[in-house]
Amino acid sequence: MSRHVGRALLVALACGAMLWGCRGAPPDTQLPIEPIGGHVAAAEQTVREPAVAGAFYPGDAQELDGAVREMLAAADRVELPGRVIALMAPHAGYIYSGPTAAAAYAQIEGLDIDTVIVIGPSHRVPVTGVALPEADTWHTPLGEVPIDTEMCAALREASDLFAPNALAHRYEHSLEVQLPFLQTVLDDFALVPLVAQDFPAESCRAAAEAIAQVAAGRSVLLVASSDMSHYPVYEQANRVDAAMLDTIATFDGDAVFARDAELMGEGVADLGCTLCGLEPVVTVMEAAKLLGADSAHVIHYANSGDAPAGDRGHCVGYGAVAFCGAEQPGAAEEPAEPAATDDAEGAAGDAAQEGELDAEQQAILLALARETIGAHVAGGQVPSPPDDAPIFGEERAVFVTLHEHGMLRGCIGSLEAREPLGEAIISSAISAATRDPRFRPVTADEIDDLHIEISVLSPMRLVDSAEEIVVGTHGVLVRQGVRSGVFLPQVAPEQGWDREEMLRHLCAEKAGLAADAWRHGARLYVFTAQVFGEAE
């Protein structure tokens, strides 16, 4: 290998070799692989094979597994305020950015996640909008990951920003380098790989809305793949990246675009960009908000000058950030398998929902939900949860449903008890009013027109047969593979559905399954709910 190509490879590993779209990438950062031109037609691809194994990360499966596990073992587990809904992770060669990537992925190790949506910048091919894959499987030395082709199709239907582009994916490392970490920290998951580059803030928001729309009600993790400052000296890389991380921590996408323009306008020597995945980062931030995230937390920072092979005269920055929320809207983790019971025992458990609320307690919670929504929408201090009855401190699963002039206006909650009842009402009321991706946020002048309904759920139990489901008594969760959907007990009576009609709608419309999946292997879970609402 010549000295020039050897240096080129090291720079490429440190920064990701942005050949297209990075603001000011020098010509000698080309990775020595097959050149790609816009005129080359992408062959139909069923499996997306590794493109940078052996270069950006070890190509041998045993060596790769050991390297990833070693980096994860060295990473700190940070106490975060709630569920991780999204991450920002770097995409350079593992010898440079691997420890920072490990710091991000250590936070989700062992979580029950069905689908991971990874958005990265295009380094070698011009992309308009967001490039969808044309493969149905992604291969790394650690094995194969299925691509969630149904979610990809749903994104294409949701927005014309999304279109298939196999060429954009063929050699793109910004997505590929995330996979070995994901394969190590998660058990079974499907992948939605997206390539995005060079579109404005309004397109980020439109893409985010489409992503939130198709991800609602699913156990989904979002990942923004991005390195940070490119090529300034070590001290300037630290300064520029600290400023950008501080801005990302404000969880404001417009502020991130503004800070990028500000830093790029300072005339910092050799500064090619502040975030090579600027658009993916902002898109993931905005989608995470719609899916219930309400805070951003910087977990780790380093730059290539910190690595043994690094050059402090020309650095690339790496940041790990987690975007968290109390609960991912509508998402349900896999319910624990209940102990085997006969039908009589199961029915008795349904009938005896523990800890029923009396009329006075119901009124307190309805008033709490209304006061919470009003205060949050006005930008004020939300009320504290009640503490005048022990039941308000019990961990309970709840949903808050809003109607306006008889029409659904928002419905968000949790299928699993994670918070004390009072706190769960507060967080679900805020989410139902402002974070349901199907609706725009509630405004102050709408609050008087809202009708609030609360559902307090019992634990779930797996049923052996659909015949056990009692319409009007049972809420139902259907799950098959990576797909799931849920109806509260009141939905079927409100719609006038019998059991089979309810199950067909649940499978097809909520879970994205075949309408008869409930007859063909899908698991069904039931629960009851104490449902109460404001007086009409």
Based on the fold, state whether residues 366 and 506 are members of the same structural domain.
Answer: no
What is the reported pLDDT for 531?
A: 92
Asked whether 173 and 210 are in contact (CB, 8 A), the reply is: no
pLDDT beyond 90 at 111: no
What number of other Cβ atoms are within 10 A of residue 237's Cβ? 28
Question: Rounded mean pLDDT of the chain?
Answer: 85
What is the reported pLDDT for 74?
A: 93
Please state, in angstroms and rounded to a whole number, the distance separating the CA atoms of residues 163 and 153: 9
Residue type, 226: S
User: At 388, is the pLDDT very low, low, confident or very high (cuts 50, 70, 90)?
Assistant: confident
What phi and psi, each to the nearest 5 degrees, are found at residue 398? -140, 155
Residue 234 burial class via C-beta count within 10 angstroms: exposed 0-12, middle 13-18, buried 19 and up? middle
Structure tokens at 377: 């929408």
What is the reported pLDDT for 133?
A: 95
User: At 356, is the pLDDT very low, low, confident or very high (cuts 50, 70, 90)?
Assistant: confident
Based on the fold, state whether residues 18 and 121 are members of the same structural domain.
Answer: yes
Please state, in angstroms and rounded to a whole number, the distance separating the CA atoms of residues 443 and 177: 42
Of 411, 434, 454, the residue that ends a domain is 454
On whether residue 239 sits in a domain, the answer given is no
DSSP letter (8 states) at residue 406: T
Identify the H or E element spanning 257. helix 253-264
Based on the fold, state whether residues 392 and 257 are members of the same structural domain.
Answer: no
Give tens-digit pLDDT for 307-331: 998 899 999 999 999 999 864 433 3
Q: Which of 83, 148, 154, 150 is nearest to 116 (CA)?
A: 148
User: At 480, is the pLDDT very low, low, confident or very high (cuts 50, 70, 90)?
Assistant: confident
On whether residue 236 sits in a domain, the answer given is no
Based on the fold, state whether residues 407 and 529 are members of the same structural domain.
Answer: no
Pairing state between β 295-303 and 317-325: antiparallel
pLDDT beyond 70 at 261: yes
Based on the fold, state whether residues 531 and 479 are members of the same structural domain.
Answer: yes
Asked whether 93 and 316 are in contact (CB, 8 A), the reply is: no
Based on the fold, state whether residues 445 and 465 are members of the same structural domain.
Answer: no
Residue type, 154: A
Full domain range(s) for residue 384: 356-454
- Looking up residue 392, the CATH number of its domain turns out to be 3.30.700.20
- Name the H helices within 24-134: 61-74, 94-105
What is the reported pLDDT for 237?
A: 97
Asked whether 285 and 323 are in contact (CB, 8 A), the reply is: yes
Based on the fold, state whether residues 378 and 504 are members of the same structural domain.
Answer: no
Q: What angle do CA 370, 375, 381 make, to 5 degrees?
A: 130
What is the reported pLDDT for 238?
A: 96
Based on the fold, state whether residues 427 and 472 are members of the same structural domain.
Answer: no
What is the reported pLDDT for 38?
A: 33
- Looking up residue 529, the CATH number of its domain turns out to be 3.30.1490.150
Which 3 state secondary structure label does DSSP give 407? strand
Which 3 state secondary structure label does DSSP give 240? helix
Please state, in angstroms and rounded to a whole number, the distance separating the CA atoms of residues 29 and 18: 7
What phi and psi, each to the nearest 5 degrees, are found at residue 503? -70, -35
pLDDT beyond 90 at 438: no
399 or 341: which leads in pLDDT = 399
On whether residue 244 sits in a domain, the answer given is no
Give tens-digit pLDDT for 505-517: 999 888 778 899 9
On whether residue 39 sits in a domain, the answer given is no
Please state, in angstroms and rounded to a whole number, the distance separating the CA atoms of residues 423 and 459: 18
In the sheet that holds 130-132, the strands lie side by side as 162-164, 130-132, 190-196, 115-120, 220-225, 83-89, 317-325, 295-303
User: At 13, is the pLDDT very low, low, confident or very high (cuts 50, 70, 90)?
Assistant: low
Asked whether 264 and 273 are in contact (CB, 8 A), the reply is: yes
Asked whether 270 and 316 are in contact (CB, 8 A), the reply is: no
What is the reported pLDDT for 218?
A: 85
Based on the fold, state whether residues 134 and 258 are members of the same structural domain.
Answer: yes
User: At 14, is the pLDDT very low, low, confident or very high (cuts 50, 70, 90)?
Assistant: low
Q: Where are the beta strands (DSSP E) in 71-189?
A: 83-89, 115-120, 130-132, 137-140, 143-146, 162-164
Number of separate domains in the chain: 3
Please state, in angstroms and rounded to a whole number, the distance separating the CA atoms of residues 36 and 170: 10
User: At 15, is the pLDDT very low, low, confident or very high (cuts 50, 70, 90)?
Assistant: low
Its pTM stands at: 0.59
Lowest mean pLDDT among 2-11, 74-83, 221-230, 439-448: 2-11
Residue type, 92: A
Based on the fold, state whether residues 410 and 472 are members of the same structural domain.
Answer: no
Q: How far is CA 521 from CA 287, 383, 466, in A?
A: 32, 45, 12
- Looking up residue 149, the CATH number of its domain turns out to be 3.40.830.10
| DSSP labels, 466-497 | GGG--TTT-EEEEEETTEEEEE-TTHHHHHT-
What is the reported pLDDT for 439?
A: 81
What are 477's strand-pairing partners? Answer: 486, 525
Based on the fold, state whether residues 140 and 224 are members of the same structural domain.
Answer: yes
On whether residue 406 sits in a domain, the answer given is yes
Give tens-digit pLDDT for 269-294: 999 999 999 999 999 999 999 998 98
Q: Where are the beta strands (DSSP E) in 228-331?
A: 295-303, 317-325
For residues 212-223, one letter each, b for 16 or more C-beta atoms within 10 angstroms of the residue's C-beta and e for the rest, the string is bbbbbbbbbbbb
On whether residue 40 sits in a domain, the answer given is no
What is the reported pLDDT for 436?
A: 77
On whether residue 41 sits in a domain, the answer given is no
pLDDT beyond 50 at 26: no
Task: Give residue 522's region: left, alpha or beta (phi > 0; psi -120 to 50).
Answer: beta
User: At 335, is the pLDDT very low, low, confident or very high (cuts 50, 70, 90)?
Assistant: very low
Mean pLDDT of 205-228: 93
Chain-centroid distance of CA 147 in Å reads 16
123 Cβ neighbours under 8 A, 6+ residues apart: 16, 17, 18, 19, 20, 21, 22, 172, 173, 174
Question: Which residue's structure tokens are 């759920």?
Answer: 457
What is the reported pLDDT for 355?
A: 60
On whether residue 237 sits in a domain, the answer given is no
pLDDT beyond 80 at 258: yes
Based on the fold, state whether residues 385 and 533 are members of the same structural domain.
Answer: no
What is the reported pLDDT for 159?
A: 92
Of 407, 428, 454, the residue that ends a domain is 454
Q: What angle do CA 31, 36, 37 make, to 5 degrees?
A: 140
What is the reported pLDDT for 45?
A: 52
CA pseudo-torsion sign 158, 161, 164, 168: negative
Question: Which residue's structure tokens are 């349901």?
Answer: 436
pLDDT beyond 50 at 32: no
Q: How far is CA 152 from CA 134, 193, 194, 263, in A?
A: 9, 9, 9, 35
What is the reported pLDDT for 7?
A: 41
